[in-house]
Amino acid sequence: MAKDYSAYFTRPSAKEARKRKTTQTPIVSFEAHINVRHLGVGKQYLIQTYGCQGNEADTENMRGILEQMGFTATEDETVADLIILNTCAIRENAENRVFGEIGRLKKYKKHNPDLILGVAGCMPQDESVVDRLLKSYPYVDLIFGTHNIHQLPYYLETAMFGKERVVEVLSIEGSIIENMPKKRQNTVKAWVHIMFGCDEFCTYCIVPYTRGKERSRQPEAILEEVRQLALEGYQEVTLLGQNVNAYGRDFTDKAYTFANLLEDLRHTDMPRIRFMTSHPRDFDQATVDVLAKGGNLMPHIHLPVQSGSNQVLKKMNRKYTLERYLDLVDALYEAIPDMSLTTDIIVGFPNETEEDFAQTLALVERCRFEGAFTFIFSARANTPAASYLDETAMAEKKARLQRLNTLVNDGYLKGNERFLNHTVEVLVDGESKHDDAVLAGYSKHGKLVNFKGPKALIGTRVNVRITEAKTWFLLGVYDESLT
């Protein structure tokens, strides 16, 4: 029977995306979905990834699905039969880069009319982006969002055989899909989603719309995945969620929190466990207490603060005060005295005053941050902050960003200097980008370490004595005797 391909035309709606149900999310196993095998045999794919770690993890799922369909990976866009851009909508400049890239890729469609060009990820979750793609980029064959990656085989079947444009972006998340195939980028470090979505609705942020409501994976599924990764020789996992501290809040059948999950993960054989990202409001004392036990829980906490001013935090809907943030930071330093603390900061939020900004600078010094991602506020369509009155000139915002970065860079350097003449454990990632005679990896505190050593060390954890501290990295000597 002929398949009805017209089913694959669905635009998202921000109004719909705002709706949140209180029910626990159903779980579906991927096997039920895949029935379009071998479509990719003899064909090559290329995926470009623009977003956060969650976006990278989604790319790994797409790669897994495509390889199960017989596609092979290529880095060469001139020979690719399928190019997918897995996009990010967090700031306007991220989006502009993608539109520029779609324009640039048009020439390959001319050379190879069978090339399938797809746009996926967070950008298509915004209705205005879909409209712009439909209107101005008619040669894009495939548009899908973050909630329906598992449908990729069907979309490709339609695009390849039906020769039709496929547009399917769902406003509302469906089930949690377990057992999706996955082709990981790295053989020693792995991303593990513990939850999806975000219910915080910070007023500047697009993520609650692009990623849907908070849905936690079952603890057993996560533990099983981490145990399996340990068996396969993985050395490090990073637990992913937009607000990992809200993990389990959506369970209706049990009381099981992020602290419980960390406690259970402590007893696995995974040598290193990290997590991203924490939200200060939901970071509870039970989690601080588990982290204090150390072991395979790494002493690096990324705790986005966004601003040091209470009135800005309120307008951002961050739901904590400066005082609450400082209390949490103090509790963390007390529990993990040698912890490395990093953060995210937005400057130039609508009508941020010089006084507000000075409070952010004071906070940066007070918290001893050893790194920060700093951003100028970017208005995102359909978010509340996009309509806030904003009279601060862009030049002023840029000047503030520069002042902030100077201070942040001091923190990076101080954070690195404290390891001078210490021996640190480094998980060796590979060769240094700048010099292939030098190896590079990260310490437990998340510091980049460069040192000379045999390539056989790649993928292992070794001891390195630190001899020099720079702002962005540490230099050291491989200490065989200590391994």
> Which residue ranges make up the site for ligand SF4 (CB under 6 A)?
198, 200-202, 205, 207-208, 242-243, 279
Residue in the block written with tokens 């990981």: 184
Using CB atoms within 10 Å of the CB of residue 143, give its burial: 0 to 12 exposed, 13 to 18 middle, 19+ buried.
Answer: buried
Does 210 bind ligand F3S (CB under 6 A)? Our answer is yes
378 binds, among ligand SF4, ligand F3S, ligand SAH, none (CB under 5 to 8 A by kind): ligand SAH
CB of 95 to ligand SAH, least distance (A): 11
242 near ligand SAH, rule: CB under 6 A: yes
Q: Does 98 bind ligand F3S (CB under 6 A)?
A: no
Span interacting with ligand F3S, options 72-80, 84-92, 311-319, 324-332, rule CB under 6 A:
84-92
Q: Least distance from C-beta 180 to ligand SF4, angstroms?
A: 22
Residue 392 is a binding residue for ligand SAH (CB under 6 A): no
Which of these, 424, 481, 439, lies nearest to 272 by C-alpha position? 424
Q: Which does 375 bind (CB under 5 to 8 A by kind): ligand SF4, ligand F3S, ligand SAH, none?
A: ligand SAH
Helix (H, G, I), strand (E, B) or coil at 324: helix
Asked if 351 interacts with ligand SAH (CB under 6 A), we say no
Choices 86-94, 99-107, 300-308, 445-453; region in contact with ligand F3S by CB under 6 A: 86-94
Q: How far apart are CA 103 and CA 370, in angstroms?
A: 39
Question: Pattern of binders to ligand F3S over 105-144, x per CB under 6 A?
Answer: ----------------xx----------------------
Residue 464 contacts ligand SAH per CB under 6 A: no
Q: Are strands 461-469 and 474-478 parallel, antiparallel or unpaired?
A: antiparallel
Chain position whose Cβ is nearest to ligand F3S: 51
Sign of the Cα torsion 324, 328, 246, 198 reads positive
In angstroms, the CA 217 to CA 482 distance is 39
The DSSP output letter for 162 is I
From the list ligand F3S, ligand SAH, ligand SF4, none, partner contacted by residue 346 (C-beta under 5 to 8 A by kind): ligand SAH
Residue 281 binds to ligand SAH (criterion: CB under 6 A): no
> Closest separation between CB of residue 15 and ligand SAH, Å?
20
- What sign has the CA pseudo-torsion 198, 202, 208, 213? positive
Beta-strand (E) ranges in 165-257? 166-168, 176-178, 189-193, 195-196, 215-216, 236-240
Among ligand SF4, ligand F3S, ligand SAH, none, what does residue 208 contact (CB within 5–8 Å per kind)? Answer: ligand SF4
Q: Of ligand SAH, ligand SF4, ligand F3S, none, which one sits near residue 91, judging by CB under 5 to 8 A according to partner kind?
A: ligand SAH
Nearer to ligand SAH, 201 or 256 (CB): 201
Q: Which does 88 bind (CB under 5 to 8 A by kind): ligand F3S, ligand SF4, ligand SAH, none?
A: ligand F3S
**Alpha-carbon span 59 to 340, nearest angstrom:** 29
Least separation, in Å, of the C-beta of 303 and ligand SAH?
A: 8
55 near 88, Cβ under 8 Å?
A: yes
Query: Which DSSP helix (H) or strand (E) runs through 344?
Result: strand 340-347
Point out which residues pair with 237 in neighbouring strands: 190, 273
Q: Is 90 in the site for ligand F3S (CB under 6 A)?
A: yes
Q: Which of ligand SAH, ligand F3S, ligand SF4, none has residue 124 at its interface (CB below 5 to 8 Å by kind)?
A: none
Query: Least distance in Å: CB of 479 to ligand SAH?
Result: 36
Question: How many positions of this chain bind ligand F3S (CB under 6 A)?
Answer: 13
* Identity of the residue numbered 416: N
- Per the rule left: phi > 0, alpha: psi between -120 and 50, beta: everything else, 318 is alpha
Closest CB 339 distance from ligand SAH, rounded Å? 18
- CB-based contacts of 343: which residues, under 8 Å, 6+ apart? 302, 303, 304, 305, 367, 369, 371, 372, 373
d(CA 478, CA 464): 5
Residue 377 lies near ligand SAH (rule: CB under 6 A): yes
Residue 133 neighbours by CB distance under 10 Å? 20
Give how many residues touch ligand SAH by CB under 6 A: 17
Tokens of 55: 């976006």
**Residue 2 CB neighbours (<10 A):** 5
* Nearest CB to ligand SAH, comparing residues 105 and 345: 345
The item of ligand F3S, ligand SF4, ligand SAH, none sharing an interface with residue 445, based on CB under 5 to 8 Å by kind, is none
Per-residue binding letters, 24-63, with ligand F3S (x by CB under 6 A): ---------------------------xx-xx--------
Alpha-carbon gap, residue 219 to 258, rounded angstroms: 10
Could you tell me where the DSSP H helices lie in 368-423? 394-417
- Helix 219-231 / helix 258-266 crossing angle, nearest 10 deg: 30
State the residues that interact with ligand F3S by CB under 6 A: 51-52, 54-55, 88-90, 121-122, 206-207, 210-211
